[in-house]
Amino acid sequence: MSALTVTEAHVEYRSRGRGLVRAVDGVSLTVQAGQIVGLVGESGCGKSSLARAVVGMEPVTSGEIALDGRPVPPLGWRRRSGPDLRLQMVFQNPYASLNPRRSVGDQITDGLAVPREEQGREVARLLELVGLEPEAADRYPHQFSGGQRQRVAIARALAARPDVLVADEPVTALDASSQAQIVNLLTSLVDDLGLGMLFISHDLALVREIADVTAVMYLGRIVEHGPTEQVWSQPRHPYTRTLIEALPRISADAHLPVGLRGEVPDGAHVPTGCRFRTRCPAVMPICTTEPPVVVDGEHTVACWLADESTLRASATEGAR
């Protein structure tokens, strides 16, 4: 059973001075029940825009988000809380995503889909599920540590009994020991509840550790996608290779990548041909004019290097 399918999703922003930014420019991916799909890529490549589109907080300009084959309408068209929210999001900053003026129990209750008389018991169950005492229900967000607050945010997301959690840099704002604990909590929820999880992070090492499938995003597109071990041991896209090579030299909280030349181009001015060509160490003439060939399959890549005949032609050019 496939839980979440994203098909050719586009998210665009129109802002004064900058023009049209194609933040998500044709992304397709699937998250199965009980599966962790890791989404990696530099800051500004569109990860959060995709996350918000998936949970309906950002409209897609085209494309489709579907659960078990049924299209998910944007948030504005459905209730903001309630049983129909099968896609839930966990944000980077649990302080900003929780209301400081309402008790933890009240905030979790908002998302519940159970009869009133069962709410107290259900809140206690959810708190326990995320490793907190039932008494936490009466307290307020500021009375918790960062890691505990993220547990509260996760309990609130689970209240609606979602099928898929979208976690956008869920541990980036936490200290190292809380990071490990929250990662453990999220992975055990996937195992125990059969949730699907789209796990977004700029931390490639962490994604390698927990994700079944890894998707690498560059300037609004997935450039490589496949089983994590394959992407890791046989990266096919020069961007992925550079990210992996840069890994031992950066600490977990540093921003990727170190080994790449130049800046990420502005999403309002995407390069012609292959969008990675301005920074690619292996750029060929065809990359300037033609969008990359997509070699599909379990391990997909969008790059002319993956096309044998182009490689041969380019080698002959070089020899002349």
Ligand X SMILES: Nc1ncnc2c1ncn2[C@@H]1O[C@H](COP(=O)(O)OP(=O)(O)O)[C@@H](O)[C@H]1O
Of the pair 214, 314, the CB lying nearest Mg ion is at 214
Of the pair 11, 126, the CB lying nearest ligand X is at 11
Q: How many CB atoms lie within 10 A of CB 173?
A: 19
Confirm or reject binding of residue 38 to ligand X (CB under 6 A): no
Of the pair 38, 105, the CB lying nearest ligand X is at 38
Confirm or reject binding of residue 56 to ligand X (CB under 6 A): no
DSSP state for residue 299 in the 8-state scheme: S
- The closest alpha carbon to 137, from 95, 178, 109, 97, belongs to 109
Which residue among 3, 4, 23, 182 contacts ligand X (CB under 6 A)?
A: 23
Confirm or reject binding of residue 48 to ligand X (CB under 6 A): yes
Confirm or reject binding of residue 44 to ligand X (CB under 6 A): yes
How far is it, in rounded angstroms, from Cα 22 to Cα 302?
A: 18
Provide the mask over 43-62, with x wherever binding to Mg ion is found by CB under 5 A and - wherever it is not. ----xx--------------
- The SS3 of residue 313 is helix
Confirm or reject binding of residue 46 to ligand X (CB under 6 A): yes
| 162: preceding bond cis by omega (within 30 degrees) | no
The listed partner (ligand X, Mg ion, none) that binds 107, CB under 5 to 8 Å by sort, is none
Of the pair 26, 44, the CB lying nearest ligand X is at 44
Cβ proximity of 178 and 31 under 8 Å = no
- The closest alpha carbon to 98, from 83, 88, 108, belongs to 108
Which residue among 94, 257, 267, 292 contacts ligand X (CB under 6 A)?
A: 267
Of the pair 41, 226, the CB lying nearest ligand X is at 41
How far is it, in rounded angstroms, from Cα 258 to Cα 204?
A: 13
- The closest alpha carbon to 94, from 36, 155, 137, 163, belongs to 155
Could you list the residues that contact ligand X (CB under 6 A)? 13, 15, 21, 23, 41, 43-49, 267
Contact footprint for Mg ion (CB under 5 A): 47-48
